Copies of this chain bind each other. A is one copy, B any other.
């Protein structure tokens, strides 16, 4: 197979090695060079195309799902989806990082009755735990989980969780923000009530809207359920189906960019092709960083192809802020860590980047270490103990 052509930054900007906003193809940005009337038939056709293409990526042979784009950042779309959960539901939130915590926080704003299984910074919630929790509390009706928790970069075991939820007769809602488009989430294989993702993640659009993909039955049932006019998914769905328009002004340029991003996604081989490039990015980058002495937080089996957490080196000359600036000066913007127990940083694998770029990232890291006088990037003992605890 020929390697997909990727598109380097054209305007001298650094690569964004982050979970989004990310480095996008130049042609995606060029699609924003014209203005669209949001009520005009041309733009309505673009909205219809966007919804159709996203649904085609869901592996839903029965046509049970529908797609509802929602203005704002991904968090807006998550809140909109959570507003579909019946007001009298009791919700189980599976948290292992900032995004799981945010779901719980949102449900508190919405006044939903809730139980949280908090696995800490990066331990995966497992199917048997979920089954046990649902068995212990039969009032639980809905479960919410993060697909890839970018706080640590962990890929949560979504299939075994979905199976436990299905077996208990509950509904599953998935925050697949940073996974959909690169990791399979096929409705024919994984039962869910709905999930959410956004324009500026694995489909490599620019930020400005997200989308809820949910069972039509769930969309019907959500009528009158939302706490918010703007974030009312049922109202947006009903209006969009009736008029072809977004209920309120859409980010027209961002939508045009997304359509171009969807074309590039399809040309790369869809979810499988995109996922393969990201996995190769991760493998090449992690191997190179390990050669420098860096260690990943997670065991290989939990490493997502989205973003990878590395322990900060123990060496006294290592300073993350300086490392960040040295990497930025070399054209790479990395991401700070988000762990509470040990110091860490993150490097993303998604966006318009391939393994050649990832080799340059490793080279830049080597040069930055040299400039700081760090001759060994090995983590402190405490970090390795933490990892051993995880592996156990």
Q: Which residue among A24, A32, A35, A232 has the maximum number of chain B CB atoms within 10 Å of its CB?
A: A35
A32 engages B75 (CB within 8 Å): no
Kindly list chain B residues whose C-beta atoms are within 8 Å of the C-beta of A20.
249
Question: For the complex, is A138 an interface residue (Cβ under 8 Å from B)?
Answer: no
Bound state CA distance, A252 and B250, in angstroms?
15
Q: Which B residue's beta carbon lies closest to that of A336? A: B39
Contacts A206-B251, A231-B228, A253-B254; A23 near B10 (Cβ below 8 A): no
Contacts A76-B248, A79-B229; A208 near B254 (Cβ below 8 A): yes
B200 engages A73 (CB within 8 Å): no
Q: How many copies does the complex hold?
A: 2
Q: Which residue in B75, B229, B230, B251 is a CB contact (below 8 Å) of A208?
A: B251
Kindly list chain B residues whose C-beta atoms are within 8 Å of the C-beta of A217.
none
Question: Which of A254-281 touch B at CB < 8 Å?
Answer: 254, 257
Q: Which residue among A32, A38, A251 has the maximum number of chain B CB atoms within 10 Å of its CB?
A: A251
Stretch in A11-19, A140-148, A290-298 with 4+ CB within 8 Å of B? A11-19
Bound state CA distance, A72 and B71, in angstroms?
5
Interface string of A25-42 (1 = CB under 8 A from B): 010011011111111100
Bound state CA distance, A24 and B253, in angstroms?
11
Contacts A228-B228, A230-B231, A251-B207; A16 near B34 (Cβ below 8 A): no
Bound state CA distance, A143 and B333, in angstroms?
46
Kindly list chain B residues whose C-beta atoms are within 8 Å of the C-beta of A18.
37, 39
Question: For the complex, is A74 an interface residue (Cβ under 8 Å from B)?
Answer: yes
| Distance of A72 from chain B, by nearest CB (Å) | 4
Bound state CA distance, A38 and B22, in angstroms?
9
Q: Which residue in B36, B75, B76 is a CB contact (below 8 Å) of A21?
A: B36
Q: Which B residue's beta carbon lies closest to that of A10? A: B33
Interface string of A223-249 (1 = CB under 8 A from B): 000111111100000000000001011
A72 engages B72 (CB within 8 Å): yes
Kindly list chain B residues whose C-beta atoms are within 8 Å of the C-beta of A36.
13, 16, 21
Interface string of A97-111 (1 = CB under 8 A from B): 000001001100100
Kindly list chain B residues whose C-beta atoms are within 8 Å of the C-beta of A331.
none
Question: Which of A79-132 touch B at CB < 8 Å?
Answer: 79, 102, 105-106, 109
Q: Which B residue's beta carbon lies closest to that of A206? A: B253
B227 engages A37 (CB within 8 Å): no
Q: Which B residue's beta carbon lies closest to that of A78? A: B230
